[in-house]
């Protein structure tokens, strides 16, 4: 008897981490529940704790968001 498999389940945080350490890195925006977007231009500017995401913004400083404040992210593809 074969077991049917459903669609592959990808955890959101795992996917965000994968884009954060991709090589070559593509800039992406983190979308917050407030509707604000935070651009990540460099993988060195992103860090994770057990319940937060820390973003280093050159002209702003460190910004800390709870993971439940993040609703999505949008990857900026490199132009060919």
Give the pTM: 0.74
pLDDT (0 to 100) of residue 35 = 94
Assign 11 a pLDDT band (cuts: 50, 70, 90). Answer: confident
Determine, yes or no, domain membership for 16: yes
Determine, yes or no, domain membership for 31: yes
Determine, yes or no, domain membership for 2: no
Phi, psi of 69, rounded to the nearest 5 degrees: -90, -5
User: Does position 61 have pLDDT exceeding 80, yes or no?
Assistant: yes
* Domain span including residue 26: 12-75
C-alpha 80/C-alpha 67 separation (Å) is: 33
Determine, yes or no, domain membership for 40: yes
Quote the number of domains for the chain.
1
Q: Return the CATH number at 48.
A: 2.30.30.100
Determine, yes or no, domain membership for 32: yes
Determine, yes or no, domain membership for 80: no
Determine, yes or no, domain membership for 42: yes
């Amino acid at each position: 008897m074969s077991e049917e498999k459903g669609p592959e389940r990808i955890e959101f945080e795992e996917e965000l981490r994968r884009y954060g350490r991709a090589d070559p890195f593509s800039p992406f925006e983190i979308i917050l529940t407030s509707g604000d977007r935070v651009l990540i231009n460099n993988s060195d500017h992103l860090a994770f704790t057990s319940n937060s995401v820390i973003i280093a913004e050159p002209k702003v400083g460190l910004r800390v968001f709870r993971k439940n404040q993040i609703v999505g992210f949008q990857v900026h593809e490199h132009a060919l």
